Structure 1
Amino acid sequence: MSITITLGKSGRLVVPKQLRDRLGLHEGSRLRLEVLGGKLEATPEADDLRIELKNGLPVIQGAPPLNQESILDAIKADRK
């Protein structure tokens, strides 16, 4: 997939929604930028997983959808 964009004010780059959805990116997602062979390469980095209380219930934030094993690992890590 190839999309042409225009840099915004202060050199800001906006990733089109179609690409964000395809890559699972959201507000706060981190991208590692590298110059390789005269090209700019952006690679998504793993989100920091955290557990927050919302309405008194623990909610996993900052991660793509998780399977049951990943959820249990996140809960165990939060308890440590």
Structure 2
Amino acid sequence: MRTTIDGAGRIVVPKAVRDAMGLSAGRKIDVVFTDGRIEIELAPAEVEVTTERGLPRVVSRDPLPELSDDLVRDTLEATRR
């Protein structure tokens, strides 16, 4: 897909790509220039590890999208291909 860069250097990510990556307004991303290519990746969520009843518990510091059954199923299917 082709897009343009505006005068402020911003790139519009096409809706189909945003949907496929799960991007939404305010979502943190990492942008890397490698071998002549610009790569966009979801930034890893910042987490805090605590213990609860003697077991480790990982808690995100950032708001994350709700984990639904459909999302888990779709992710499993995508990784099996």
**What TM-score do the two structures reach when normalised by structure 2?**
0.55
Alpha-carbon spacing, 1:48–1:9, altered in 2? closer, same or farther (3 Å): farther
In structure 2, the partner of 1:10 is 8
Number of aligned residue pairs = 55
Q: Which ranges of structure 1 fall in alignment gaps of 5 or more residues?
A: 50-60, 68-80
- Give runs of ≥4 in structure 1 deviating > 2 Å: 46-49
Equivalence map 1:26-65=2 (5 Å) = 26-47=24-45, 62-65=63-66
Give identity over the alignment, percent: 30
Distance 1:39 1:22 in 2: 19
Q: Which ranges of structure 2 fall in alignment gaps of 5 or more residues?
A: 48-61, 69-81
The answer as to 2:17 corresponding to 1:19 is: yes
Preserved contact between residue 48 and residue 62 of structure 1 (Cα < 8 Å): no
Which of structures 1 and 2 has the larger relative contact order (alpha carbons within 8 angstroms, sep 6+)?
1
Choose 38-47 or 16-25, whichever is displaced more.
38-47
Distance 1:38 1:63 in 2: 31
Alpha carbon RMSD of aligned pairs, Å?
Answer: 2.5
Distance 1:16 1:39 in 2: 17
Which has a greater percent of helix?
1
Cα offset, 1:9, TM superposition: 2.2
